[in-house]
Amino acid sequence: MTDYRDPDELIRRAGRGNPEFDQHFLVDDRVLDRIPTYADEFDTTHVLEIGGGTGALTDRLLDVAEKVTVIERDPNLAEFVREEFAEVVEAGRLDVIQGDALEVDLPDYTVCISNLPYSASSDLTFRLLPEGKPAVLMYQLEFAERMAAEPGTSEYGRLTVATQHYADVELVEEVPREAFDPQPRVESAIVRLTPRAPEYEVDDEDFFLRFVKALFTQRRKNVRNAIRNTAHISGLDAPEAIVDALDEETLRKRPGDLRPSTFAELANIALEVGEPT
C-alpha cells in the first residue's frame, strides 16, 4: 500500500478550510483510498480534479493516472498544491490551474474524479456531462439521491431526468459528515457517472431539457394541466394542440411518474404540434 500524505497534516500546513468557500476537506483515509477504485473500469490516463483543496485526493489520483489536472479556485490552495507536489509538477504529471472550474477551459481529460464544491454541484455537473466522459464525484447525499432516483419517488425530478439523459448514475458510497474537516452540515455520497446514449431519441435536446424543467415546476398537477400551465416556460404557443395529441392515460399521470423515455415522446410531440418559439 502506498504511503500517502496525512490529510490532517496537509490541513495543518495549508491552513484550515473555509466552509464559506466550500472548503470541507476529506480526512478519512479509507474514503480517500476508495475513491479512485470507483473509476477502475474507466481510462484514468488523464484525471481531472475539480477543487484540489490541500491535495489529499490528488495524492491518490497521481497513483492511478499518468497525468492529473487540478482546477482550484483558491489561489493559496493552488499554490500550496503546486509546492507540495513540486516534483510531479516539474515532471509534467500534474497541472494546477488556478481558477473557477465553471469558467476555465477544461483540459483533454479522460475521467473526472473530484470531491466537488457543493454550492456549484449542479452547474459543474451540467458542464461536465455534455463532455461525454466518465466521472466519480462527491455530492451532498440528498443531491446524489435525486440524481439516481426512480420515477414515482419524491426524489425523482428534473435533476434525475437531465442527469440520466447523459449517463448511468450509481450512488456507490454514502459518506458521513465526520469524514471531513471542517464537517459539512449534511451527509455526502460518491456517485459514479458512466456516459451513454439515452434509450430514446429526442429531436431537439435543448427543447427536451426545457420541457422537462417546465413540467416539473408542476409536479403535483397532472400532465394535461402541467402542459397548459407551463407553456411560457417551455416556449410553446399551442399547448392545447399537444394535449389534443396525447392519450388520456398519459394526460392523467403526474410528471413525477413519467419515465425519461415518456418525457422524450412528449417533447417530440410538443416540438411537432406545439408551435415552439
Ligand X SMILES: C[S@@+](CC[C@H](N)C(=O)[O-])C[C@H]1O[C@@H](n2cnc3c(N)ncnc32)[C@H](O)[C@@H]1O
Which residues make up the interface to ligand X (CB under 6 A)?
Answer: 21-26, 50-53, 56-57, 71-74, 77, 100-102, 115, 117, 120
Q: Which lies closer to ligand X via its Cβ, residue 193 or residue 273?
A: 193
CB 115, min distance to ligand X, A? 3
> 87 labelled as ligand-binding?
no
> 115 labelled as ligand-binding?
yes
- Do the strands 180-181 and 188-195 form a parallel or antiparallel pair, or are they unpaired? unpaired
Angle, alpha carbons 186-189-195 (nearest 5°): 140
| Among the listed residues 199, 123, 127, the one whose alpha carbon sits nearest the alpha carbon of residue 168 | 199
CB 52, min distance to ligand X, A? 5
CB 262, min distance to ligand X, A? 35
Q: Which lies closer to ligand X via its Cβ, residue 118 or residue 166?
A: 118
| Among the listed residues 77, 66, 68, the one whose alpha carbon sits nearest the alpha carbon of residue 23 | 77
CB 27, min distance to ligand X, A? 8
Q: Which lies closer to ligand X via its Cβ, residue 14 or residue 258?
A: 14
Q: Which lies closer to ligand X via its Cβ, residue 155 or residue 181?
A: 181
- What are residue 114's DSSP bridge partners? 137
Q: Which lies closer to ligand X via its Cβ, residue 74 or residue 145?
A: 74
CB 117, min distance to ligand X, A? 3
> 51 labelled as ligand-binding?
yes
When CB distances to ligand X are compared, the closest residue is 51
List binding-site positions for S-adenosyl-L-methionine.
24, 26, 51, 72, 100, 115
List binding-site positions.
24, 26, 51, 72, 100, 115
